[in-house]
Amino acid sequence: MAGVVNSGVLRRLEAVSAVASSQCNEQWSPHEPQIHRTHNMKIEMKEIVRRCRKVTSPFRIVKGKDFGLKDIDPGDTLWFTDKDKPRAKKAHEVGVRALAELQDKLYAQDKWAVLLIFQAMDAAGKDGAIKHVMSGVNPQGCQVFSFKSPSAEELDHDYLWRCMKVLPNRGHIGIFNRSYYEETLVVRVHPESLARQKIPPSLVTKNIWNQRFEEIRNFEQYLARNGVVVRKFFLHVSKKEQRRRFLERIENSDKNWKFSANDAAEREHWRDYMEAYEDMIRQTASDEAPWYVVPADNKWFTRMVVASAVIETLASLDLRYPEVDKDKLKELAAAKAALAKK
Ligand code: ATP
Ligand code: MG
Instruction: Looking at 4-61, list the stretches that DSSP marks H as alpha helix, in order from N- to C-terminal side.
Output: 7-19, 45-56
pLDDT tens-digit profile of 138-176?
999 999 999 999 999 999 999 999 999 999 999 999 999
Task: State the pLDDT at residue 161.
Answer: 98
Q: Which ligand is nearest to the CA of 126?
A: 1
pLDDT value of position 43: 59
Say if residue 186's pLDDT is above 90. yes
127 lines ligand 1 (CB under 6 A): yes
Torsion angle of C-alpha atoms 129, 188, 248, 56, degrees rounded to 10: -30
Domain boundaries, the chain: 2-320
Of 119, 160, 185, 186, the one to substitute when testing ligand 1's pocket (max ligand atoms within 8 A of C-beta) is: 186
Q: Is the CB of 187 under 6 A from ligand 1?
A: yes
Q: What is the pLDDT of residues 6-36, one digit of tens each?
A: 434 433 333 333 323 233 344 556 766 543 4
Q: Is 249 in the pocket of ligand 1 (CB under 6 A)?
A: no
Confirm if 45 and 98 have CB atoms less than 8 A apart: yes
Class of domain 2-320: alpha beta
Can you tell me the mean pLDDT for 221-236?
A: 98
pTM for the full predicted model? 0.88
**Cα–ligand 2 centroid distance for 340 (angstroms):** 58
Q: What is the mean pLDDT of residues 203-214?
A: 97
**Cα 149 to ligand 1 centre (Å):** 6
Answer whether 328's CB lies under 8 Å from 261's CB.
no
